[in-house]
């Protein structure tokens, strides 16, 4: 509510702006800068009055400025040191990266080389598996067969060495309940060799019992007698006597009649026995004069003269070398 007094004192804005200014010298200015307080002058336009705390405020300002300069220099030094450290680290990392790149490049080259070699090996394997020629196959087969034959020959020689004290006596009549030790000593005496019981290690008949001949009156073919002697010297003596007295018979030895010729030979392995038989057949076919064994080894000679060499037969391939491929092939056929 406006009273009458207030209504009388009211002025509009334009009227208020035309009124003279009042003295506001003591009105403080809002704000402070550098320790200086500003006061406005009177309405008459007098200069502004300043209240300055000069010494203390200026010293503080100079000290703050000095601190700011020192801090800036320290910060710049730290920044420079950090920059140098970063540059050194970058150079080190760059050198390590270059070394790593060189190693990776070298490793890549070696891997590529290995891949090339593997590709070449695959090509060669494919060639060997799918494109082997007939000549290569024959060569490989021949090499394998030769190796197998050599191994068999070596094993056969070792087995033959185990029989160096053995003799094989054939065509001696066989009687049930016979004493083979007594028979051997009787045969030795027939050949002029004194043989005692202590000289005999073992004696036995070997092989299967053969059927009788076609004629009922013909005797049954006796099995071979195999005797092992205690010493090789005794065996050689008995074998030499049998060769000197070739054609000795069982006559007068108390053996069943009729008397017959008996044979004393070296005992051979199964392989050597078959090879010896094959060698004799080829020699008879080609009119070779001599085929014999000595210490389990098989030899052949075409003529009795010194110009005719003594040839050893150790395997089937030696038959081709000694008698020729044509003769051996015709016999096989």
**Phi (first) and psi of residue 233, to 5 degrees:** -65, -40
Average pLDDT, the chain: 79
pLDDT class for 227, splitting at 50, 70, 90?
Answer: very high
pLDDT at 69 over 60: yes
Place of tokens 């000549």: 135
pLDDT of residue 226: 94
pLDDT of residue 36: 44
- Domains (range + CATH), the chain: 165-266 (3.30.70.1820), 270-332 (no CATH)
pLDDT of residue 65: 60
pLDDT of residue 208: 77
Whether residue 224 contacts residue 174, with contact meaning beta carbons closer than 8 Å, is answered with: no
Find the length of the chain: 333
pLDDT of residue 1: 55
Q: Which residue has the higher pLDDT, 266 or 146?
A: 266
Q: Which residue has the higher pLDDT, 128 or 215?
A: 128
**What integer is the mean pLDDT of 295-319?**
88
pLDDT at 276 over 90: yes
DSSP per-residue letters across 125-175: HHHHHH---HHHHHHHHHHHHHHHHHHHHHHHHHHHHTTTTEEEEES----
pLDDT of residue 44: 44
**What integer is the mean pLDDT of 304-323?**
86
Least confident segment among 64-73, 197-206, 252-261 = 64-73
Q: Which residue has the higher pLDDT, 298 or 316?
A: 298
pLDDT of residue 203: 93
pLDDT of residue 217: 52
Place of tokens 């003596």: 237
Q: Which residue has the higher pLDDT, 7 or 78?
A: 78
The stretches of the chain forming alpha helices (DSSP H) are 4-9, 13-18, 54-130, 134-161, 180-190, 232-244, 270-286, 316-323, 325-332
pLDDT of residue 221: 79
Q: What percent of the chain has pLDDT over 70?
A: 73
pLDDT at 333 over 60: no
CA–CA separation, 173 and 256 (whole Å): 7
């Amino acid at each position: 509510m406006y009273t009458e007094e207030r209504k009388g004192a009211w002025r509009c804005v334009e009227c208020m702006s035309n009124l003279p200014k009042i003295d506001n010298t003591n009105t403080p200015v809002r704000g402070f800068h550098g320790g200086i307080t500003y006061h406005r002058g009177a309405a008459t336009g007098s200069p502004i009055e300043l209240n300055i705390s000069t010494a203390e405020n200026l010293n503080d300002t100079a000290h703050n400025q000095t601190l700011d300069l020192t801090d800036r220099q320290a910060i710049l030094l730290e920044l420079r040191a950090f920059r140098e450290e970063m540059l050194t680290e970058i150079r080190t990392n760059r050198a390590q990266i270059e070394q790593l790149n060189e190693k990776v490049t070298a490793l890549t080259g070696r891997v590529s080389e290995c891949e090339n070699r593997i590709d070449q090996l695959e090509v060669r394997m494919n060639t060997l598996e799918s494109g082997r020629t007939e000549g290569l196959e024959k060569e490989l087969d021949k090499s394998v067969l030769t190796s197998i034959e050599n191994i068999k020959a070596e094993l056969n020689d070792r087995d033959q060495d185990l029989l160096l004290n053995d003799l094989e006596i054939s065509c001696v009549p066989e009687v049930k309940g016979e004493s083979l030790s007594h028979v051997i000593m009787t045969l030795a005496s027939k050949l002029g060799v004194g043989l005692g019981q202590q000289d005999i290690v073992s004696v036995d008949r070997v092989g299967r019992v053969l059927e009788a001949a076609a004629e009922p009156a013909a005797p049954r073919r006796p099995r071979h007698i195999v005797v092992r002697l205690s010493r090789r010297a005794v065996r050689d003596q008995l074998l030499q006597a049998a060769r000197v007295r070739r054609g000795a018979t069982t006559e007068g030895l108390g053996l069943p009649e009729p008397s017959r010729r008996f044979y004393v030979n070296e005992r051979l392995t199964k392989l050597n026995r078959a090879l010896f038989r094959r060698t004799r057949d080829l020699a008879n076919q080609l009119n070779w004069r001599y085929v014999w064994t000595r210490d389990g080894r098989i030899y052949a000679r075409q003529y009795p003269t010194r110009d005719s060499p003594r040839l050893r037969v150790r395997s089937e391939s030696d038959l081709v070398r000694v008698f020729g491929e044509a003769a051996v092939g015709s016999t096989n056929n």
